[in-house]
Amino acid sequence: MNVSYKTDQKSSEEPELDFDAIVIGAGMSGMYLLYRLRELGLRVRVLEAGTGVGGTWYWNRYPGARFDSESYSYGYSFSQELLDEWDWSEHFASQPEIERYLKHVDKKFDLSKDIQFSSRVQSATYDADNRCWALVLDDGRQYHSRFMITALGPLSAPTMPRFEGIEEFGGQSFHTGLWPKEEINFAGKRVAVIGTGASGVQTIQEVAKTAGELTVFQRRPNWCTPLNNRKIGKEEMDTIRAGYPELFQRCRETAACFVHNIDPRGTFEVTDEVRDAFWEKQYAGQGFGIWQGNFRDILTDPEANKLISDFVADKIRGRVNDPETAELLIPTDHGFGTRRVPQETHYFEVYNQPNVNLISMLETPIERITAAGIKTSAAEYEFDIIIYATGFDAVMGSFDRIDIQGVDGQKLTETWKAGPTTFVGVMVENFPNMFMVMGPHAALGNNPRSIEYNVEWVRDLIAEMAGRDLTLAAARPEAVEQWTDFVKLKAEGLLANEIDSWMTGVNMNVEGRQTRSIVRYSGTAPEYRAWCDEVAAKGYQELNLT
Ligand code: NAP
């Protein structure tokens, strides 16, 4: 289908539409949006702040960055040719390989010709008279487009701690989510890492290999479990390739689109021996199996959760030589799996190395950054390099960085002040013709699987509008309310939603993010898709289409 909205509705005051659709962000969502919307014959432009494609996998080039999902389950599934020609070299590919893959996708589908790099969107204002969005970049360039589709990523607004003196530090400092392209040499250097989430853990285990001295500043420890990565040889890749249809079918059926699926048994329905043997197998198995493929009640029943937490705690004790250090590395404020589980490779053994030191910020908090290093309540440390692995203003933060104004100048930040309200995580009331891919309340998990679904849903909606000569799509208030209530209902009973983390919208480094809100959809992905499929099948009655 070929559609153009450019001349249909033109009046004398109407701004010339530069594009039918502007996509913000050239990560995996934005790249696929471009591919699918261009197929409709739309004039599409992707605006990307970076200088290359990849989004998360462009910015997070910190040492040790790699997939925590199986590589072959994380790539795009839409093109058989792409599946046929791309070989993954490891079960969990590293950032350089992932970036190479996304560059290959870019080249194969000739995407970059419609991607405008070094283009950070500063504001986006809905023009009700002309049913379009007016976007302004930070360098002043302006564009008008019928549709605006955000492909911002849920974890793309890095946040720094609010310590005094950060600017005074005389050495080099980096945030993991804004890592430079040049290689950083740690050999013989005194390096500090602040933060022990998934990014910190990957960084620490890599930097520990070469740093002269590595000091880890940990606030709350996380429950880390082994990634158990390994290389993929040619023969194994051929087998994986032959199994792609079943693999993607499996990802369509599991709760969070991973290859791992919840075990239907309850923790206490099996004997102690069966349970221990199962957990031993999970601990020795790959990736998120122990988190996403565990007994059905470990993330909802406090007793079951305590048991698996004790199991993992004992594993940590068994791997860290110094008992005091081991206890510091075991979380006591939340149970296993209630925050995102970092995946590790010899992470705990790093603390047995003579060049590695662990500082608990719960015992001796950082007071300030100094010109020479870091001052805690107990001591002053000198460093050559400080790495901030302090995370992101997740889910809503990337929206907040753009001044988005809908009908009557209503600001998105105001609309979402008490937590996001959306229709299927794709639309927001009073923000017509704005669609979100991987926005709040959409199904997350093994993200590319949800990205492909979301993009195709948006593509189908736009195609439907084009077919019926419609220029405006607005979410009805009752539909937004119904979906938001459903998201809240699905959040009930999940232990993770009772814990502070980015998954519950908490970030102590950001004003207004001190209390929990329901930012994620916690139902299953199949349920999510069933809901969205029904909306489409019934002709989008939840939307005002005119
Ligand atoms: P994160 O999980 O939010 O961890 C941030 C870390 O920094 C936490 O340990 C936090 O401590 C600490 N921190 C933040 N502010 C601090 C402060 N002011 N003082 C002391 N410590 C502070 O962020 P992340 O590690 O970047 O990971 C975010 C998410 O990105 C992950 O959960 C995951 O979904 C995704 N990710 C994925 C991969 C992958 O798939 N391969 C890799 C990396 C990240 P507290 O816990 O005490 O707040």
| Ligand 1 pocket test target in 57, 95, 155 with most atoms within 8 Å of CB | 155
Q: What is the mean pLDDT of residues 147-157?
A: 97
Q: How far apart are CA 211 and CA 137, in angstroms?
A: 40
344 lines ligand 1 (CB under 6 A): no
List all residues 6 or more positions away from 445 whose beta carbon is below 8 Å from its beta carbon.
255, 256, 257, 258, 525
The tens digit of pLDDT for each residue in 82-91 reads 999 999 999 9
Helix (H, G, I), strand (E, B) or coil at 420: coil
How is residue 299 written in tokens?
């993330």
The CA dihedral of 66, 72, 74, 77, to the nearest 10 degrees, is 150
pLDDT exceeds 70 at position 10: no
397 lines ligand 1 (CB under 6 A): no
How is residue 136 written in tokens?
């302004």
Q: How far apart are CA 476 and CA 155, in angstroms?
A: 28
390 lines ligand 1 (CB under 6 A): yes
pLDDT band, very low/low/confident/very high, at 16 (cuts 50, 70, 90): confident
Q: What is the mean pLDDT of residues 326-353?
A: 98
The residues pairing with 132 across neighbouring beta strands, listed in sequence order, are 127
199 lines ligand 1 (CB under 6 A): yes
pLDDT at 1: 47
- What backbone torsions phi and psi does residue 19 show, to the nearest 5 degrees? -145, 160
Residue for token digits 């959409």? 442
Give yes or no for a contact between 361 and 217, defined as CB atoms under 8 angstroms apart: yes
Q: How far apart are CA 447 and CA 288, in angstroms?
A: 14
pLDDT exceeds 50 at position 355: yes
For the chain, the straight-line distance linking the first and the last C-alpha, in angstroms and rounded, comes to 20
Percent of the chain past pLDDT 90, that is, above it, reads: 97
| Ligand 1 pocket test target in 67, 160, 219 with most atoms within 8 Å of CB | 219
195 lines ligand 1 (CB under 6 A): yes
**How many angstroms does the Cα of residue 489 sit away from the middle of ligand 1?**
27
223 lines ligand 1 (CB under 6 A): no
359 lines ligand 1 (CB under 6 A): no
Q: What is the mean pLDDT of residues 344-348?
A: 98
Helix (H, G, I), strand (E, B) or coil at 527: helix
**How many angstroms does the Cα of residue 342 sit away from the middle of ligand 1?**
9
Nearest CA to ligand 1 atom 11: 219
Give yes or no for a contact between 410 and 124, defined as CB atoms under 8 angstroms apart: no
pLDDT exceeds 70 at position 5: no
Percent of the chain past pLDDT 70, that is, above it, reads: 97
**How many angstroms does the Cα of residue 404 sit away from the middle of ligand 1?**
27
How is residue 145 written in tokens?
């487009």
pLDDT band, very low/low/confident/very high, at 14 (cuts 50, 70, 90): low
Nearest atom, ligand 1, residue 391 CA: 23
67 lines ligand 1 (CB under 6 A): yes
Residue for token digits 């898709």? 529
Domains parsed from the chain with CATH numbers:
19-53+111-157+394-540 (3.50.50.60), 193-388 (no CATH)
The tens digit of pLDDT for each residue in 415-439 reads 999 999 999 999 999 999 999 999 9
Number of H helices, E strands in the chain: 18, 20
Q: What is the mean pLDDT of residues 3-19?
A: 61
pLDDT exceeds 50 at position 405: yes
**How many angstroms does the Cα of residue 458 sit away from the middle of ligand 1?**
31
pLDDT at 3: 52
The tens digit of pLDDT for each residue in 219-263 reads 999 999 999 999 999 999 999 999 999 999 999 999 999 999 999
The tens digit of pLDDT for each residue in 467-524 reads 999 999 999 999 999 999 999 999 999 999 999 999 999 999 999 999 999 999 999 9
509 lines ligand 1 (CB under 6 A): yes
The tens digit of pLDDT for each residue in 272-291 reads 999 999 999 999 999 999 99
pLDDT at 4: 52
Q: How far apart are CA 54 and CA 37, in angstroms?
A: 18
Nearest CA to ligand 1 atom 2: 197
**How many angstroms does the Cα of residue 389 sit away from the middle of ligand 1?**
6
Write the single-letter amino acid at 258: F
220 lines ligand 1 (CB under 6 A): yes
Q: What is the mean pLDDT of residues 123-130?
A: 97
The tens digit of pLDDT for each residue in 452-469 reads 999 999 999 999 999 999
pLDDT at 6: 44
pLDDT exceeds 60 at position 76: yes
Nearest CA to ligand 1 atom 4: 197
pLDDT exceeds 80 at position 35: yes
The CA dihedral of 52, 54, 57, 63, to the nearest 10 degrees, is -20
pLDDT at 113: 98
Write down the mean pLDDT value for the chain.
96
**How many angstroms does the Cα of residue 447 sit away from the middle of ligand 1?**
18
pLDDT exceeds 90 at position 124: yes
